[in-house]
Amino acid sequence: MKAEGPEQVARALKLRTVLTANWKAGLAEVASQGVFVTPPVDGWVFAVGRDVAARAADPAALEALVAALSDAFGEAFWFAADSEREVYGWARGARGACTRSYAFAEELGHYAWSGEVTEEERQLGCFIDDPRDRSDDEIKWWPDSRTVCAIAARWASDPSRIDADSSGTGAGLVGRL
């Protein structure tokens, strides 16, 4: 989200047990549970971690989260690129509504879908059948981390491009949803 600092986002997320953390400690803390709300990077504040990623399991909860954050910040985005668990997805919200969501998990297939395919998704070739696929799957296209990062870059900001130089030394917040 575009925000002045992590405190605004932590309040909007209604985080519990909130503690200050630097980047290294914050990211390490949320590898198994929790949320790390980053200090601003080029005006963007990211909320990352297992608690946020878990929203992908329930499409209604994901859409509610994105809608609530977009109500608070005008627009909000959610991205998931977990190659270990084979979970990928994205969602976009504006003015209190989730306008687009999509999620894929290896064990569930394409299980979350709301809104129309965006121009950015079309430009990236999302949902265009792979001609090599001979399966009887309805959709013969699968996302990957590159796709998620490309969508993030076109809609907002690609979090995979954050490095030590751009993240600076500011502190963020760690908490639980």
Give the start-to-end residue ranges of the domains of the chain.
Answer: 6-161
pLDDT beyond 70 at 169? no
Burial of 142 (0-12, 13-18, 19+ CB in 10 A): middle
Average pLDDT over residues 82-97: 92
- The 3-state DSSP class for residue 172 equals strand
Tens of pLDDT along 59-84? 999 999 999 999 999 999 999 988 88
Burial of 98 (0-12, 13-18, 19+ CB in 10 A): buried
Model confidence band, residue 50 (pLDDT cutoffs 50, 70, 90)? confident
Model confidence band, residue 172 (pLDDT cutoffs 50, 70, 90)? very high
Residue 5: predicted pLDDT: 92
DSSP state of 14: T
CA end-to-end span of the chain, whole Å?
Answer: 17
**What DSSP string describes 140-161?**
-----HHHHHHHHHHHS--GGG
In the numeric block, the tokens 């627009």 are attached to: 75
pTM over 0.85: yes
Cβ neighbours of residue 46 closer than 8 Å, sequence gap 6 or more: 37, 38, 159, 162
Burial of 32 (0-12, 13-18, 19+ CB in 10 A): exposed
pLDDT beyond 60 at 168? no
Residue 170: predicted pLDDT: 82
**CA dist list (Å): 166 to 7, 44, 127:** 20, 12, 33
